Structure 1
């Protein structure tokens, strides 16, 4: 992955610096407004990362010690960590083998009377079937929160991922389509939750620093609850506004490159690539491939051969329950998750990837699998 950054972002950041207001301020408010509108939400709350946005979501729901929150193990470890840091227990559920996402069936298998919420990830930008999860969870009064870290620009049932979400969290890390360096966003249609989240991210202050300075009159703030420092800076937000204007073009280009990968790799027996699900479209934040069942080479050996040929690939999506941080953490059987994380790898995909570079990747992969020269 390589972020798409240019002179417009540099000038926007410089303008924020020249303004003298570099902390959370008017540019953050503008970014919140335009981002929420783009994903079909009423309110946006900028944060320092997607992880902190998820943590805010959990606090809004009152998640805490004694509670369980269903999460996929097949996700970056931050998904489980955001639950862990509330004192609640992350409960790992298995995923669909085609999309890598939670489904109503995999979640139903681990629900208990202690389940406080379900945290569904739109993994690698592939939209999860949120309607199916809500059909399961709503009658049980179990909220469904969306980890949309990778999903800006993806669609679900003809609308942007995140539209109509109870709470959705987003990432602007450089490996995502939109980047502010580091940073995140929480979106919701509930004004009361948005207002509280904005307080929680800024130490629980009754009035933000930006509003206090803007008012012109002496204001003595109060601290209404113990909270956090999860703010985004105006420098980051200035970059984010420019990045958002590029989103449609970035998605279009990535989908073109993904389609070409799919075409070039179609002749490799047993190799499966990430694709759009029936219920939506993916932004191809990551282009993962699953190695054939009868492959005579291990995934890590494929990665090593790609590296030897000058191709920077990486392992597929991690399984959090297999990491040392969650060693000994109880969980149900997760056969699809373990197969997925063991047999998948992520190929290079970014806006400036050339056809020649893509050909090199395909040649290296097919050679590593023993398939000979590329099948073009």
Structure 2
């Protein structure tokens, strides 16, 4: 039987295992030195001053929105084509997500569609680097500055990417990353919020730790037991075990992104002249290729056929407002027609650094019946 080929997966080597074992043999399993080292490494990669590690990308979004003061009565502009967490974290804050349509060719948030959705209640604009392609952050920054609202980058797909030579993570007021196992770098589960604003970083650090102003390691250093809860926070802390794995994984990120781009180019070449249409790259970007997404007719039939042949295709995403939870809140079909049309056509193909040319050929042959 042919091996199953997933759409994405983690790669763990002996260096990663040794890094984790080193923490397990040490004194700190959480709130210890590996957390700070991981934060420093991600901040350097993103070209920013501050990074706040948490236990998921969703937690990072919640921390970011909270730090920006988003709350009841506020509205936050988000793209329709994203994972639900982008909007869910807005709801966690008691605010209302306002869904905006996406560009036809790459499914990134459409800057021209945002302006009509901005009201006096708008507190932030959130761009999502769908599939690893950076948004038009210059256009989004211009809109945010014009209307005096915050700009957030949901960069959970795009760590290691860049726009006009500027690294992803440095393009918004706060950017967030995910370290889920199918992402570029994994900590098992985990996330990070990065920013150049010291006050925002401090608020996120407090929020991830129950709203308490110091953690156990800080109190250990000062020989103090005393702490204060100044905010209603959450336990969004990440462990040193996870961060040790993340530090080790980061050392491979650049070559993994290079491999992802090589594989994507093989797909691109193979689909020329077929009915399978890859998403378009726009502008001077470094694509991170978390996902390789194509558009095709008879998507549902193709999905079943490829899954039957052991090829783990997927669909990213159902427009968020079509989920039952949001439908019950009054969001209706027809709100974002470009995203809805794309949803019926998109297919995510296998793409991860452990794949080889023969795997690409297998997927292509199964998809276009060569």
Secondary structure in 2 aligned to 1:58?
helix
Secondary structure in 1 aligned to 2:367?
helix
Question: Does 2:106 correspond to 1:99?
Answer: yes
- Contact 2:161-2:167 at 8 Å conserved across structures: yes
Partner of 1:90: 97
Partner of 1:112: 119
- Contact 1:174-1:182 at 8 Å conserved across structures: yes
Distance 2:343 2:161 in 1: 23
Partner residue of 1:223 out of 217, 223, 229: 229
Partner of 1:253: 259
Distance 2:120 2:148 in 1: 11
Question: Does 2:238 correspond to 1:232?
Answer: yes
Distance 1:222 1:321 in 2: 39
Partner of 2:301: 301
Partner residue of 2:294 out of 280, 289, 295: 289
Distance 1:206 1:88 in 2: 25
Distance 1:122 1:266 in 2: 25
The alpha-carbon deviation at position 17 of structure 1 amounts to: 0.7
Partner of 2:65: 58
Question: Does 2:345 correspond to 1:343?
Answer: yes
The 1:80–1:92 alpha-carbon spacing in structure 2 relative to 1, beyond 3 Å, is same
Partner residue of 2:175 out of 161, 168, 173: 168
Distance 2:267 2:172 in 1: 32
Distance 1:102 1:146 in 2: 11
- Count of residues in Structure 1 that have an aligned counterpart in Structure 2: 361
Distance 1:314 1:307 in 2: 9
Distance 2:321 2:147 in 1: 26
Secondary structure in 2 aligned to 1:44?
strand
TM-score scaled to structure 1, two decimals?
A: 0.93
Distance 1:59 1:6 in 2: 37
Partner of 1:370: none
Distance 2:119 2:284 in 1: 28
Distance 2:140 2:224 in 1: 49
- Structure 2: where are the runs of 5+ without partners? 1-7
Partner of 2:217: 210
The alpha-carbon deviation at position 164 of structure 1 amounts to: 4.2
- Coordinate RMSD, CA, aligned: 1.3
Distance 1:50 1:310 in 2: 29
TM-score scaled to structure 2, two decimals?
A: 0.95
Question: Does 2:366 correspond to 1:359?
Answer: no
- Contact 1:129-1:279 at 8 Å conserved across structures: no
Distance 2:38 2:79 in 1: 30
